[in-house]
């Protein structure tokens, strides 16, 4: 048991005395004012020196039976005698005997100071105290990956380690030959350059890791419906406390360990805890225990929370799991293959360069800065030989460093991190990284209607009683018996709630949009008092609504006469099929013959044609047999109480979003549970269907679709655009059929039963507002505002991710081809490489990190939705990209080779200045080519450039650093200062890449794959 002793006990007691004394003063004052007790009466007695107040009710015996020698009042300290371990073990072991020791569920509620209907007090002090005593609903997360780990990972690269070894050897030989003052430059420069590359890469990866962790933590912050101070309200799962009354519905995640207070047809999926796939029935008598992290698979109810956070088995399990955020997406896998192919090519070139340079050196075909042979056999100092060999090996290894495109995975990471952050602002939360890029290839979107294409703000706009429509001024004419049955049908058969707040005359109504609309209609138009209805009847059995049955029912016994009634509510044509009679406005019961049934069917069709969702209410008096009532709800011989039509307006902008998808070559298919007439009307309103087209094969019902033969289904699936009265199985079948046809399918869903279709689809899109936790966990992306326009935004971002990666590949391969070619040709022909190790590492930094950051953060444009989908099989490097990168690479190689062999004669300069000109021209060519890479097909590469300040900032930063490298870091970068004319020449040569790119883009390209060599890689 939890107890306080000694001074700690005294301090707690004094603190609570102060709090409770203040509350009692306030309470007494209110009572005096309410009852008009005279100020100088029996409650308050005056004396010249003091005021005494009668607070006899304050003295409560110490729960431990101990008396304090100081005779201080012993206040009740909440939860001091509750053992949290006992509560935890009770639920974990499903120990009903221990629950009985508490006195049962009712007594447990009392011990936890919560009310079955009103919940806990909910005041800040109460919540804080509960967290202090029982803990908060959070689990200890595994320690985050420290920055030093990223540094080690970046350093733990074979090529970097070899290069570092060469740099250290060079440093040692340099210091030995020239002393510390001058000998450290060659080796030290390489070491500094390596560390710069490692740090920049580590910082980038560290920031992206933190970004992914932040976004992933937001996916676990779900909203829970609790009852506090008599009000049903949503709170964050992290704000849940022990004693909270939680409302549970199909698809909800159980937010903490607890005990069922009241439930109907409640079943729980405990596979996340036990591994068993069978759903477990939960009831108050035999198994009232609920585990945190499990999912409600059927029914609804309320529970009291007994353990939260680390006191639950779920919390213990989650605290030991490290969620890996470095999942490899399909695009990253393809890029790894591409990088591997390029790396092998670079390694081959480096080996050739290494062999050629070593052969030329040891055969005496190389000369030093003094014009003498570097190697003269045994006459050459061994230190000089080793220094030269190390320099040659460093040059070869550096070629490998430049050839291996480490920037490709980094570019994907940067693009995904950037797009995830931006998509969050655009109402889309990514749960699975691969969905970002896959969405760009989507060819078909299967979307729900309610809440996605429509606002999900329903309102009852039509009410039919019998064959007569009831207007606002005719509600008073409804027979009292029918009115009472309607009020019972709404008030008893609902998962929503109505809370009458004392501070306002307008009741607070909560629940699903459909339930809220029906409850609002019943309260406002029918004058229903939901508390009165629930007190007047005892609920015997409930059949909860699900998307397959499309109806819900309740079996109730009236308290007044013990009569038992069945009430059904649901899809109008399904309820109508259960009815044999109907009420008219006067309260008379009439037989429903075939003609009457057809008339009601016509009323339903007319309402559906006006885009109304039709809901029917039916009732039946159930006879009792030998004093026992039926446990199963009657489904035949019902009496129709009435029909209502709910209007759910289309979302603003949804028609335009549908048109954008069509322009992008993406087909939209609407899958809904509504009847075929409502579905067709909404599809017309949204632009999915056109009034002037043949609708025979465009609109089908779910039952028709599932009864097609496989051949017939595959033949007609392309034409189907609306599927009405569909079940979750129909949606799954649609997704499977579309994938068989080669489509990349995106599916929206919000219900628990949508989970199979969401998992089966290439991209599962769940709804953030109406979506259940089961649906969200099965999806790849959560649409936070349930809006179809946001789905189109995700499509745009998906294409942007793919496009940005292609831009960077084009840019990087240009650098790879140019750098490898110039060093290879120069090494073979002249025996030396013009670009040193430090210079190539600098180019590597520009190309990998800064280039990826500049090109991977381009925002999506509407032009992306004017192209057809990429599809599954198209090559990553398109013919357009080959055209652009080969043109730029050939130009750069040609210019640099001219400078290599003729530069000294053209500019009348020495070898060092010539090499500086080559280095400067090469870097500036990459800077100018970065502009060309922004648009692969557009000739105007500057369009929208002012909107991307990051791109301009990186370009400016690169140029400034290049100036510093050339002009101020001569020894570090092995460069010479250039004059204004030489700078102008370098800039002019580099700037020519712009008109070349413009001309090249005029050349048409074939759709046929350009290079089959890359087929396996890309």
Residue 551 sits at the vertex; the CA angle it makes with 546 and 553, to the nearest 5 degrees, is 105
d(CA 859, CA 868): 19
d(CA 544, CA 276): 24
d(CA 686, CA 454): 9
The DSSP result for 746-805, as a single string, is EEEE-SGGGHHHHHHSSEEEEETTT--HHHHHH-SEEETT--HHHHHHHHHHHHHHHHHH
Exposed, middle or buried: residue 668 (CB in 10 Å: 0-12, 13-18, 19+)? Answer: buried
Main-chain phi, psi angles of 468, to 5 degrees: -115, 130
The structure tokens listed for 754 are 């949508």
Exposed, middle or buried: residue 547 (CB in 10 Å: 0-12, 13-18, 19+)? Answer: middle
d(CA 127, CA 79): 13
Cβ neighbours around 659 below 10 Å, total = 15
d(CA 986, CA 962): 12
Cβ neighbours around 278 below 10 Å, total = 10
d(CA 719, CA 733): 15
d(CA 338, CA 1014): 8
d(CA 1016, CA 969): 43
d(CA 943, CA 933): 12
Asked if 1000 and 887 touch (Cβ cutoff 8 Å), the reply is yes
d(CA 707, CA 727): 13
The structure tokens listed for 38 are 């005279």
The structure tokens listed for 436 are 């970002």
The structure tokens listed for 341 are 């192919």
Q: Which residue has the tokens 């939209």?
A: 668
Distance of CA 1014 to the CA centre of its chain: 34
The DSSP result for 685-743, as a single string, is HHTSS-TTS--TTTEEEHHHHHHS-HHHHHHHTTT--EEES--HHHHHHHHHHHHHTT-
The structure tokens listed for 362 are 């040891």
Reported as type and span, the H/E element at residue 21 is helix 6-35
Provide the b/e sequence for 381-396 (b: ≥16 CB within 10 Å).
Answer: eeeeeebbbbbbbbbb
Asked if 306 and 257 touch (Cβ cutoff 8 Å), the reply is yes
Asked if 397 and 163 touch (Cβ cutoff 8 Å), the reply is yes
Reported as type and span, the H/E element at residue 602 is helix 594-609
Q: How would you classify the pairing of strands 667-671 and 444-447?
A: parallel
Provide the b/e sequence for 759-774 (b: ≥16 CB within 10 Å).
Answer: bbbbbbbbbbebbbbb
Asked if 936 and 881 touch (Cβ cutoff 8 Å), the reply is yes
Q: Which residue has the tokens 């003052």?
A: 181
Catalytic, 448? Answer yes
Exposed, middle or buried: residue 670 (CB in 10 Å: 0-12, 13-18, 19+)? Answer: buried
User: Coil, strand, or helix at residue 255?
Assistant: coil
Q: Which of 186, 252, 257, 448 is catalytic?
A: 448
Residues annotated as part of the active site: 448
């Amino acid at each position: 048991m939890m107890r306080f002793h000694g001074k700690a006990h005294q301090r707690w007691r004094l603190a609570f005395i102060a709090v409770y004394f203040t509350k009692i003063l306030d309470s007494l004052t209110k009572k005096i004012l309410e009852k008009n007790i005279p100020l100088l009466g029996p409650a308050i007695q005056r004396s010249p020196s003091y005021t005494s107040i009668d607070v006899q009710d304050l003295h409560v015996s110490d729960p431990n039976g101990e008396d304090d020698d100081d005779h201080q009042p012993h206040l009740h300290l909440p939860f001091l005698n509750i053992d949290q371990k006992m509560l935890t073990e009770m639920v974990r072991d499903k120990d009903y005997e221990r629950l009985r020791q508490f006195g049962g569920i009712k007594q447990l509620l009392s011990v936890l100071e919560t009310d079955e209907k009103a919940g806990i007090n909910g005041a800040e002090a109460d919540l804080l105290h509960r967290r202090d005593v029982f803990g908060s609903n959070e689990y200890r997360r595994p320690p985050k990956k420290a920055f030093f780990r990223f540094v080690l990972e970046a350093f733990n690269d074979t090529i970097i380690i070899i290069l570092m070894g060469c740099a250290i050897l060079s440093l040692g030989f340099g210091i030995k030959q020239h002393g510390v003052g001058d000998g450290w430059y060659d080796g030290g420069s390489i070491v500094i350059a390596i560390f710069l590359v490692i740090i920049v890469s580590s910082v980038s990866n560290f920031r992206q890791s933190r970004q992914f962790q932040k976004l992933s933590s937001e996916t676990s912050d779900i909203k829970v419906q609790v009852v506090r101070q008599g009000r049903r309200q949503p709170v964050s799962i992290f704000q849940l406390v022990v004693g909270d009354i939680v409302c549970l519905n199909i698809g909800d995640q159980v937010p903490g360990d607890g005990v069922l207070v009241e439930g109907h047809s409640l079943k729980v999926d405990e596979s996340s805890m036990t591994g068993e796939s069978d759903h477990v029935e939960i009831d108050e008598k035999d198994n009232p225990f609920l585990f945190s992290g499990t999912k409600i698979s059927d029914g609804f109810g309320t529970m009291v929370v007994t353990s939260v956070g680390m006191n639950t088995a779920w919390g213990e399990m989650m605290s030991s799991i490290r969620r890996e955020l470095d999942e490899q997406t399909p695009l990253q896998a393809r890029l790894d293959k591409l990088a591997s192919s390029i790396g092998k090519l670079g390694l081959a070139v480096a080996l050739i360069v290494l062999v050629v340079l070593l052969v030329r050196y040891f055969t005496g075909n190389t000369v030093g800065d003094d014009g003498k042979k570097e190697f003269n056999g045994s006459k050459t100092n061994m230190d000089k030989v080793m220094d030269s060999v190390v320099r040659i090996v460093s040059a070869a290894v550096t070629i490998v460093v430049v050839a291996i495109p480490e920037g490709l995975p980094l570019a994907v990471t940067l693009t995904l991190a950037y797009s995830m952050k931006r998509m969050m602002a655009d109402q889309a939360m990514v749960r699975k990284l691969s969905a970002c890029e896959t969405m760009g290839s989507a060819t078909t979107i299967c979307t729900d209607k309610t809440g996605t294409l429509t606002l999900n703000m329903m309102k009852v706009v039509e009410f039919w009683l019998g064959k007569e429509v009831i207007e606002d001024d005719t509600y008073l004419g409804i027979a009292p018996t029918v009115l009472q049955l309607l009020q019972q049908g709404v008030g008893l058969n609902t998962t929503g709630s109505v809370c009458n707040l004392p501070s306002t005359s307008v009741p607070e109504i909560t629940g699903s949009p459909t339930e809220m609309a029906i409850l609002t209609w019943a309260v406002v138009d029918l004058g229903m008092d939901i508390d009165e209805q629930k007190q007047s009847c005892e609920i015997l059995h409930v059949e909860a609504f699900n998307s397959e049955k499309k109806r819900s029912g309740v079996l109730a016994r009236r308290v007044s006469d013990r009569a038992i009634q069945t009430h059904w509510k649901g899809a109008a044509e399904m309820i109508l099929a259960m009815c044999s009679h109907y009420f008219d406005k006067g309260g008379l019961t009439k037989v429903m013959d075939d003609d009457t049934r057809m008339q009601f069917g016509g009323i339903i069709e007319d309402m559906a044609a006006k885009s109304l969702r039709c809901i029917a209410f039916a009732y039946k008096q159930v006879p009792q047999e030998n004093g026992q009532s039926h446990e199963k709800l009657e489904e035949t011989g019902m009496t129709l109480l009435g029909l209502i039509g709910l209007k759910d307006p289309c979302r603003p902008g949804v028609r335009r979003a549908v048109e954008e998808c069509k322009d992008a070559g993406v087909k939209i298919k609407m899958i809904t549970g509504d009847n075929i007439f409502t579905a067709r009307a909404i599809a017309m309103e949204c632009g999915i269907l056109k009034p002037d087209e043949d609708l025979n094969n465009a609109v089908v019902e779910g039952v028709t679709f599932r009864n097609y033969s496989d051949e017939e289904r595959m033949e007609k699936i392309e034409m189907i655009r609306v599927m009405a009265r569909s079940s979750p199985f129909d949606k799954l079948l649609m997704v499977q059929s579309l994938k068989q046809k080669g489509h990349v399918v995106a599916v929206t869903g919000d219900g628990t039963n949508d989970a199979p279709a969401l998992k089966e689809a290439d991209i599962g899109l769940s709804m953030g507002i109406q979506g259940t936790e089961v649906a969200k966990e099965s999806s790849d992306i959560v649409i936070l505002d349930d809006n179809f326009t946001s789905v189109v935004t995700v499509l745009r971002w998906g294409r942007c991710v793919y496009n940005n990666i292609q831009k960077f590949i084009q840019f990087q391969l240009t650098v790879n081809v140019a750098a490898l070619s110039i060093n290879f040709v120069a090494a073979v022909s002249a025996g030396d490489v013009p670009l040193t190790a430090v210079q190539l590492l600098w180019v590597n930094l520009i190309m990998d990190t800064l280039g990826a950051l500049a090109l991977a953060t381009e925002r999506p444009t509407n032009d992306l939705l004017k192209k057809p989908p990429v599809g599954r099989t198209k090559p990553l490097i398109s013919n357009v990209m080959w055209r652009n990168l080969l043109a730029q690479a050939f130009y750069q190689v040609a210019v640099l080779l001219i400078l290599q062999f003729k530069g000294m004669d053209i500019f009348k300069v020495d070898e060092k200045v010539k090499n500086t000109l080559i280095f400067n021209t090469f870097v500036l060519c990459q800077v100018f080519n970065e502009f060309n890479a922004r648009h692969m097909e557009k000739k105007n590469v500057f369009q929208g450039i002012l909107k991307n300040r990051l791109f301009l900032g990186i370009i400016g930063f690169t140029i400034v650093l290049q100036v510093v490298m050339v002009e101020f870091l001569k020894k570090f970068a092995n460069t010479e200062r250039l004059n204004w004319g030489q700078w102008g020449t370098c800039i002019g040569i580099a700037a020519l890449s712009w008109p070349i790119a413009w001309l090249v883009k005029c050349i048409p390209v074939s759709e046929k794959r350009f290079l089959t060599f890359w087929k396996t890689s890309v």
